[in-house]
Structure 1
Amino acid sequence: MPGLLVTPLHEEYAWERGQIALAASVNMVLFGLTAPFAAALTDRIGARRVVTGALLLVAAGALLTGVMTRPWQLVAYWGLLVGLGSGCLTMTFAAGITARWFDRRRGLVTGALSSSSHLGQLVFLPLLAWSVGRFGWRPPVVTLALVALAVAALVYPLLRDHPADAGAKPYGAREFVPRPPPVPGAAGRALRVLLRAARTGPFWLLAGVFALCGASTNGIMWSNWAPAAHDHGMRATAAASLLSLVGIFSALGALGAGWLTDRFDPRRLLTVCFAVRALSLLALPLVFASTVTAPMLLFTAVYGLVDVATVPPVIELARRVYGDDGPVVFGWTNAAHQLGAGASAFLGAAARDVFGAYDVVWAALAAGCLVAAALAPAVRVGAHRPAERARAGYPSQS
């Protein structure tokens, strides 16, 4: 949605693109920083309450955005409220749900849950872009708020916190697993996990890789794709349709990556994904056009397939290295992902204002992806890990 707001707000209020992108940056940073605390809070009060509260925050932020008149209000409403609410529903949430409800096929499940957010692009973006062009930017923002309220009304009575609440075993488990007692001190636990993980090398490698991932995916695409397409003369509806198509291929790529994660070394999968993404970003300035062409469709397919494909292997690596703390550790690596995304959203828009085009942005992000491809194989979970794990306070495992 932020990408669809840039041009209308710039034209209506004469706000600079950097001012508008600042709200998207704050949103993305909070989207990431909230995740580990939300994961720990879920262990204390349950997923149903966390999800319901998050959806209410999203609804409130979207409704208030519809009546704003100043740039700081966009930062407060969309950046702060929507950022906090959506931060509770990230891939960290998916990792926690998978750990509780599934004993087998975890890679495939995390791939499926990762793909769901990008399927939302397919459902909403073309409709929202059409609505922005026909009715202005306010009705689509209110529509999102109403949808969030409707989903909250379904979540509270239907969602269960644990398989035991439904009298079921986790998928693939041989024995019934009772619901664990609430874990007190959610915020303290999240910080303690961070301090332990920060004393290990794999955490910093995963965080660095995921920061580059965020910069080269949602950081640039969610807030700068529509303005970049506008620079090439493409209509907003066409640009949103291409981004929705990215969502389709992202869903397929996430499912495929989840299936592959169950069968192959996740580190090699990460290297392949980042290498392919780098090549696609390098090719983008050469194929960008005012209309939807075959090369643009090819870029959409290739980029989409590796867009979210990095999530299942990173979740699996966090689980292998950090055990039960894996979902919270992934939450902190996801925070790094969103810090990279927030920086990319703001700096990408600022670079456009300085250079008059996005070409330098695509090249810089491609270089970052190549760095991530080189870093992924360095994540160690084998012979050299036990001593380092022991120093950090984690149990010994291969």
Structure 2
Amino acid sequence: MNHLKGRNQNTTIYFGWYVILVGFLITAIRAGIGMQTLGFIVAPMEDEMNWSSSAITMCITLQLVVAAMVGPSIGRLLDKIGAKKILCVGLVANGIMLVLVSMVTALWQLAVVMIVLGGVTQACIGNTLIMPFITKWFSKKRGFVMGLVSAGANLGSALLAPLIVSLMGDSADWRHAWFIIGLIPIFVIAPIVYFILNKSENKAKIREEVTKENGDADKPEMTFTVKAALKTVVFWRVIVAWNLIDFAMKGVLLNKIPYALEMNFSQNDAAGILVVYGVCALLGKLIIGWISDKIGLHWIGIILSIFQAIGIFMFVDASSTYVLYIAYGVLSGLSAGGLIALMPIILADYFGSKFQGALSGITISLLLFSSVGGPLSASIISDITGSYKNGFLLYALLTAIAVILFVFIRKPQNLERV
């Protein structure tokens, strides 16, 4: 299995931290030009192309169906050939997708580009593939570093949202903005990732360096096989809770900007809440990553889900920019950031890291309901009722149900040594 060398030969810096940098950059660019900011093009596309919001959203979300279909295979490849080729392919596909989106003139073209290239992107550089790669380098510090990596998503959205608005200009030129932004993953991020991951060696050496770094060389990791994990009740409780939360968060991520505009907030207001959300979610991920190594993960899930539900409820009837910033930017930002960081931590902590690539690939498929239903539901409700409001109320309700599920999630005790 190909990976980075455990330590840079010219320094004393543990090479796992370079892996963290790779993960941080990828999550930053993926989120900065992904679900968190794609909402900026929905309204201009509707106006220019006379397409419905649900049709556009369907094209965007169908990429997640493709990712779910190929996710298990990509996960197994991660365990076998390492991350370099997979991540670079995903980054290039991401950039090409955005460049081609800027050129579409028909709905079927948008669908093909989003489904094919978007599916490859989601499968190759999504969190469910990035996080297993990270877990192979850290064990004792796993919660903190996974929180750090996932924080890149929020920094990316906070930095790129104003840039996208600026590139679109007063004329809402989404084509120009998306063409320019699409060049970043191809010509900036992919070369950096390739350079850092270019040196590799076998898995045994990695584990030697990992255990040396974390001080647990005499403690072989206990882990579930994929088959054993799928037989546990806890795994399926986690999946159901994750689906409910993911349904709500993905739905809010893609539809928040159209809904904010519907409530007569400006594009700059929408960009502003993304910045606040990004900063707060970044803090949430770092905080949760740190405390997840110290307290029960299910308690963290309960608290964060409560805050997320409250934030969405407040967003529904936001009467001012201040309320909008508090509801979505602060409450939803802190809790969503923590929840996004928490779920991969639960998988790694509860079931071990050895088969995380394959297990995470399967998880992508099991999240198909939320990946498609979340973003699409509010758009369909908007097309039918003329408002996103009921869709957001649905998101808040599902998040509240997830609170109950977290009460019954505990780390399984019967581990299988492999």
Q: Under TM normalisation by the shorter chain, which class is it?
A: 0.7 to 0.9
| 1:215 aligned partner | 247
Matched, 1:117 2:153: yes
- How many Å separate the matches in 2 of 1:321 and 1:169? 23
Matched, 1:38 2:38: no
* Bigger Cα displacement from structure 2, 264-273 vs 322-331: 322-331
- How many Å separate the matches in 1 of 2:300 and 2:199? 32
| 2:355 aligned partner | 325
| 1:360 aligned partner | 390
Shift of 1:22: 0.4
- How many Å separate the matches in 2 of 1:49 and 1:32? 19
Question: Deviation digits for residues 218-267 of structure 1, max 9, x if unmatched?
Answer: x2233211110111112223212212321111111011111111000001
- How many Å separate the matches in 1 of 2:375 and 2:199? 35
Shift of 1:162: 5.7
TM-score (normalised: structure 1): 0.85
Matched, 1:249 2:280: yes
- How many Å separate the matches in 2 of 1:57 and 1:378? 40
Any residues of structure 2 matched to 1:383-394 within 5 Å, and which?
Answer: 386=414
Any residues of structure 2 matched to 1:183-202 within 5 Å, and which?
Answer: 193=226, 196-202=228-234
Aligned length: 369
Which of the residues 330, 336, 340 maps onto 1:311? 340
Instruction: Tell me the amino acid that sits aligned with residue 298 of structure 1.
Output: I
Which of the residues 273, 281, 297 maps onto 2:312? 281
- How many Å separate the matches in 2 of 1:16 and 1:112? 37
Q: Is the CA contact 2:90–2:120 (under 8 Å) kept in the aligned structure 1?
A: yes
Structure 2 unpaired stretches of 5+: 1-36, 219-224
| 1:137 aligned partner | 174
| 1:237 aligned partner | 268
Shift of 1:36: 4.1
Instruction: Tell me the amino acid that sits aligned with residue 270 of structure 2.
Output: A
**SS state at 2:387 partner:** coil
**SS state at 2:125 partner:** coil
Question: Deviation digits for residues 88-146 of structure 1, max 9, x if unmatched?
Answer: 11222332232222232110000011111121101111111222234611112112221
Instruction: Tell me the amino acid that sits aligned with residue 255 of structure 2.
Output: N
Instruction: Tell me the amino acid that sits aligned with residue 190 of structure 2.
Output: A
- How many Å separate the matches in 2 of 1:51 and 1:29? 19
* Bigger Cα displacement from structure 2, 310-319 vs 355-364: 310-319
Which of the residues 312, 326, 331 maps onto 1:298? 326
* Bigger Cα displacement from structure 2, 325-334 vs 257-266: 325-334
- How many Å separate the matches in 2 of 1:245 and 1:36? 35
| 2:16 aligned partner | none
- How many Å separate the matches in 1 of 2:170 and 2:360? 41
Matched, 1:259 2:295: no
Q: Is the CA contact 1:318–1:327 (under 8 Å) kept in the aligned structure 2?
A: no
| 1:188 aligned partner | none
**SS state at 1:25 partner:** helix
Shift of 1:270: 0.4
- How many Å separate the matches in 2 of 1:313 and 1:327? 17
Shift of 1:87: 2.7
- How many Å separate the matches in 2 of 1:257 and 1:163? 32
* Bigger Cα displacement from structure 2, 158-167 vs 120-129: 158-167
Instruction: Tell me the amino acid that sits aligned with residue 38 of structure 2.
Output: P
| 1:148 aligned partner | 185
- How many Å separate the matches in 1 of 2:70 and 2:400? 28
Which of the residues 190, 196, 220 maps onto 1:158? 196
| 1:68 aligned partner | 104
**SS state at 1:315 partner:** helix
* Bigger Cα displacement from structure 2, 143-152 vs 263-272: 143-152
Which of the residues 145, 169, 172 maps onto 2:213? 172
Q: Is the CA contact 1:266–1:314 (under 8 Å) kept in the aligned structure 2?
A: no
Instruction: Tell me the amino acid that sits aligned with residue 58 of structure 2.
Output: L
- How many Å separate the matches in 2 of 1:5 and 1:255? 30
- How many Å separate the matches in 1 of 2:359 and 2:199? 20
TM-score (normalised: structure 2): 0.81
- How many Å separate the matches in 2 of 1:33 and 1:222? 23
Shift of 1:278: 0.9
**SS state at 1:148 partner:** helix
Q: Is the CA contact 1:288–1:296 (under 8 Å) kept in the aligned structure 2?
A: yes
Any residues of structure 2 matched to 1:7-46 within 5 Å, and which?
Answer: 7-31=43-67, 33-46=69-82
Q: Is the CA contact 1:250–1:308 (under 8 Å) kept in the aligned structure 2?
A: yes
Shift of 1:338: 5.3
- How many Å separate the matches in 2 of 1:118 and 1:31? 22
**SS state at 2:235 partner:** helix
- How many Å separate the matches in 2 of 1:127 and 1:98? 29
